[in-house]
Amino acid sequence: NPAALSSQRADSLESSGALELMAASSKRKVTYFHDADTMGSYYYGPGHPMKPHRLAMTHNLILSYHLYRKMEVCRPHLATDEEMLQFHAAEYVDFLRRVTPDNQPDFSKQLQRFTVGDDCPVFDGLYDYCRLYTGGSIDGAMRLNAGTADVAINWAGGLHHAKRSEASGFCYVNDIVLAILELLKVHVRVLYIDIDIHHGDGVEEAFYLTNRVMTLSFHQVGGAFFPGTGHTNDLGAKAGKNYSLNFPLLAGMDDAAYESIFKPVVDKVMEHFQPNAIVLCCGADSLSGDRVGCWNMSIRGHAACLEHVKSFGVPMLVLGGGGYTVRNVSRCWAYETARLTNQPISDTVPWHEYMDYYSPDYKLHVPVSNMENENTREQLEMKKQKLFEALSQLEHAPSTTMQTGQPGTRINPDALQHDSEEEEEEWDLRPHRNRRAHLAEYFDDDDAEGDLLDTDKPGREYEEPPSDDDDGL
Active site residues: 161
Q: Around 311, how many Cα atoms within 13 Å sit in the side-chain half-sphere?
A: 10
Per-residue CA distances from 289 to 253, 254, 417 (Å): 12, 12, 20
Check if the beta carbon of residue 412 is closer than 8 Å to that of residue 436. Answer: yes
> At 157, is the secondary structure helix, strand, or coil?
coil
Query: Cα(472)–Cα(163) distance, rounded to whole angstroms?
Result: 21
In terms of Cβ atoms closer than 10 Å to its own Cβ (0-12, 13-18, 19+), residue 378 is: exposed
Per-residue CA distances from 28 to 144, 338, 396 (Å): 12, 13, 27
> At 238, is the secondary structure helix, strand, or coil?
helix
Query: Cα(117)–Cα(370) distance, rounded to whole angstroms?
Result: 36
- Please give the full DSSP string across 197-214, using - where no structure is assigned: SS--HHHHHHTTT-SSEE
Q: What is the dihedral of CA 251, 200, 282, 308, to 10 degrees?
A: 90
Q: Which residues contact 48 (CB under 8 A, 6 or more apart)?
A: 119, 121, 170, 418
> At 245, is the secondary structure helix, strand, or coil?
strand
Task: Write the single-letter amino acid at 423.
Answer: E
Query: Cα(321)–Cα(301) distance, rounded to whole angstroms?
Result: 17
- Which among 439, 446, 447 has a CA at the least distance from the CA of 166? 439
- C-alpha of 257 from chain center: 21
Query: Cα(149)–Cα(141) distance, rounded to whole angstroms?
Result: 9
Query: Cα(384)–Cα(398) distance, rounded to whole angstroms?
Result: 22
Residue 290 phi/psi, 5-degree rounding, is -65, 140
